[in-house]
Chain A
Amino acid sequence: SSELTQDPAVSVALGQTVRITCHGDSLRRYYPSWYQQKPGQAPRLVNYGRNNRPSGIPDRISASYSGNTASLTITGAQAEDEADYYCNSRDSIGHHIVFGGGTKLTVL
């Protein structure tokens, strides 16, 4: 079982804003990262640390965190944002890497 918990599925209307959340006690100590995975593709890093975006990731994708909850916000969702999203951090003692169970985002 994962130490990071995500909602299995979320939907958003085209052009609207959606928040994908990740819960876990280790988030109180370790910053999260977020990955986007489209069908048949490898995951892609979309945000890491304190809301940092790799080159090529649009600024409509942002991250925040508070307490034991991390959030990935997509402002003005586009069709190409439809994907699975995974949060990632460390376990409670900081030794092992853990992933959340993933959230399937549907853009309506």
Chain B
Amino acid sequence: QVQLQESGPGLVKPSETLSLTCSVFGGSVTGGSFYWTWIRQPPQKGLEWIGYIDYSGNTNYLSSLKSRLTISRDTSNNQFSLRLTSVTAADTAVYYCARGYYSGYDKIDVWGQGTLVTVSS
């Protein structure tokens, strides 16, 4: 059974870089036809897809974040990561990593527990 675990700082200063890592257990970031995605949820708000990296290393980013966002993977450690530069208070959210599969629909079936990142000085 695949499990995901987010890690990273819970507090980031405005204008600095937010970096999170998702460790994958029980599966491989290069296996199957999955994509590995980041989704965030600002306090008391809905879900927002941020981007993903797929099993072959291709990336897909939300257009409004594309200039600040990098999603990468470390195949030797079976992890994938999020890097968001020049953060503001609007980037404060619970960040979830998750696994998805696309076949005419998105089946995002495994989620991490989420980690709260607060942007504040």
Contacts and interface: CB of A to CB of B under 8 A. Distances in A.
Interface of A: 2, 30-33, 35, 37, 42-45, 48-49, 54, 86, 88-90, 95-102
A102 B46 contact: yes
Contacts of A35: 47, 108
A96 B100 CA distance: 13
Contacts of B62: 96
Contacts of A88: 47, 106, 108
Contacts, number: 63
Given A43-B96, A96-B62, A89 B47 contact: no
B109 A45 contact: yes
Given A43-B96, A88-B47, A102-B46, 15 more contacts: A33-B105, A33-B106, A35-B47, A42-B114, A43-B111, A45-B108, A48-B105, A49-B103, A89-B105, A96-B62, A97-B52, A97-B100, A99-B48, A99-B49, A102-B47
Given A86-B47, A98-B49, A99-B47, A42 B108 contact: no
Interface of B: 37, 39, 46-49, 52, 60, 62-63, 96, 100, 103-109, 111-114
A16 B121 CA distance: 49
